[in-house]
Structure 1
Amino acid sequence: MKNFLKNTIGRFCPFYAIIPLIGSFVLETTVYEGSKLFIQGRYHYDFTTEFDRSVPVISWFSLIYFGCYLFWVVNFILLTRVNKEHFYQTLFAVYLSYVICAIIFIALPTTNIRPEVKGNSIGDVVLRLIYLSDTPENLFPSIHCSVSWFCYIGVRGKKEIPKAYQVFSLVFAILVIISTQVTKQHYFIDAIGGIALAEICYWFSKYRGLYKPFQRFFEKVNHRLRMDRI
């Protein structure tokens, strides 16, 4: 059984990374959806500018906005291809960004006014589904932008990752950021805030060593669950 797991799941994602990655998904969902419970009925700020109003709706970018989740999964797993320390450095920064987002979402509720989408193209249909499933709240900073930028930060300048894929990650992260603008899911300040948050959290994690207790915690969890023996 152990060999089977190593030859299947273990080929794609080391077992030490599975629980921290699941925890990241759980924390992100809890922060994004849970914080809405604390801001019900409160005044929501709209940071829309004239520049934001001038940006056109390009509905087919909704495919990139929605499809970026696969990009996140692939790049987070690629962190493990560099080394275990880098994985924990980057993932702690992601966790830290979620905590900061929770504080900002609750302290500064935000919203925007979305346009009516009337077309019947695939992009229009997907965009309407996004609007139906995601209320216009918790916009600043943009988690979509911050996590996509983390995906680039994680592979940036790493010799273990092909240069071509590093470039692809940068280009795709930029496309995701553009998608947040032209789908009217976010506005300019949300995107800038998301990118800045990612860079700041990564700096603190890597250069201040804040990730080390985080790494030790998950190593203990993996040991308790025998994940480090698979």
Structure 2
Amino acid sequence: MRSYLTSGIWMLLIPLINLLYAPLNHVKGNVYSLITVLDQHIPFIKYFIVPYLAWYLLMFVILSWFMKRDHKLYISSLASICVGLLLSFLVYAFFQTKVPRPVIMGQDLFSNLTRFLYGIDNPYNAFPSIHVMTAYIIFVASSKAKGCGRKMVLASQTLSVLVILSTVFLKQHTLMDVAGGIFLGGSLFKAMTLIQRLNHKSLLKQAAKSFTLKPQEDKYGRGYATKRVIQE
């Protein structure tokens, strides 16, 4: 139980790093547009507000699931997300983009939630999309999860896809933002997985070197057996 709590505490890095988001989400100089013709043909669908807003809570649930089922996967996923957040904020600081938003006319729950989102999140921190980056990391990680049920993996990946789609259907991001998020998330997860493998191989080599076979001698000085000696 204590080990779970110790590992789980590291997830607090995500909200701590996210404290950098708000100060960057204001006009600071040149603002660029990454809108394409395809973006202009994507409709606004208010129902996607549900997976979009629920994502951060569900992401922590999925990370907790990784932590219990596959601790190495949990570490690589969490590290990828944290580094991805920092790199995204670095881009926001020097390359600011803006996504035009539609006017929301309805008074239903989904319209009100979308207006709430627009009210608390200025349209400037867009490329790369953090929602897409984190969702893609979870999508890829779920496919590699060990000891996890197929239903849970399918649910996790389906949710990740819905979150990625929600970013464009809510007009929070452009297709370029999505591509940037996928590239960043995929690259970081591969890098973290590779680092884990190299570190594991290094530990195995160190463990192998710590054991040697030293010949034993009888009272006449003849070698007759070996014993394993752990080098200090």
- The runs of 5 or more residues in structure 2 that have no matched partner are 200-232
Q: Which residue of 1 aligns with 2:219?
A: none
Shift of residue 34, structure 1, vs aligned partner: 3.3
3-state SS in 1 of match to 2:96:
coil
When structure 1 is superposed on structure 2, of 80-89 and 163-172 the one drifting more is 80-89
- The runs of 5 or more residues in structure 1 that have no matched partner are 1-5, 213-230
3-state SS in 2 of match to 1:176:
helix
TM-score, normalization by structure 2 = 0.79
What is the aligned residue count? Answer: 199
Shift of residue 148, structure 1, vs aligned partner: 1.5
User: Which of residues 11, 15, 32 is equivalent to 1:21?
Assistant: 11
Deviations 1:133-173 (A, max 9, x none): 11001101100111112222232232311111111211111
Q: Which has the larger radius of gyration?
A: 2
Residues 149-168 of structure 1 aligned to structure 2 (within 5 Å): 149-168=136-155
3-state SS in 2 of match to 1:195:
helix
Q: Which residue of 2 aligns with 1:85?
A: 72
Query: Once the two structures are aligned, what percentage of the paired residues are identical?
Result: 21
Shift of residue 18, structure 1, vs aligned partner: 2.6
Q: Which residue of 2 aligns with 1:119?
A: 106
User: Which of residues 7, 22, 29 is equivalent to 1:33?
Assistant: 22
Q: Which residue of 1 aligns with 2:57?
A: 70
Q: 1:78 to 1:102 in 2, by over 3 A?
A: same
Q: 1:92 to 1:211 in 2, by over 3 A?
A: farther
User: Which of residues 176, 183, 190 is equivalent to 2:177?
Assistant: 190
User: Which residue identity does 1:25 align to in structure 2?
Assistant: P
Deviations 1:6-55 (A, max 9, x none): 4xxx7xx911223210112211x12322333xx64311111111111111
User: Which of residues 120, 134, 137 is equivalent to 1:147?
Assistant: 134
Shift of residue 96, structure 1, vs aligned partner: 1.3
Query: Hey, what's the Cα distance between the residues in 2 that align with 1:89 and 1:62?
Result: 28
Shift of residue 176, structure 1, vs aligned partner: 0.8
Shift of residue 92, structure 1, vs aligned partner: 1.1
Query: Hey, what's the Cα distance between the residues in 1 that align with 2:24 and 2:148?
Result: 36
User: Which of residues 33, 42, 50 is equivalent to 1:46?
Assistant: 33
User: Which of residues 164, 171, 176 is equivalent to 2:163?
Assistant: 176
Deviations 1:79-122 (A, max 9, x none): 21233332222211111111211221112111111110001121
3-state SS in 1 of match to 2:124:
coil
User: Which residue identity does 2:138 align to in structure 1?
Assistant: C
- In the alignment, does 2:88 pair up with 1:106? no
User: 1:145, 1:191 within 8 Å by CA — same for their partners in 2?
Assistant: yes
Shift of residue 191, structure 1, vs aligned partner: 1.0
Cα RMSD for the two superposed structures: 2.0
Shift of residue 211, structure 1, vs aligned partner: 9.9
Segments ≥4 residues shifted beyond 6 Å:
none
3-state SS in 1 of match to 2:19:
helix
Higher helix share: 1
TM-score, normalization by structure 1 = 0.80
Query: Hey, what's the Cα distance between the residues in 2 that align with 1:82 and 1:198?
Result: 22
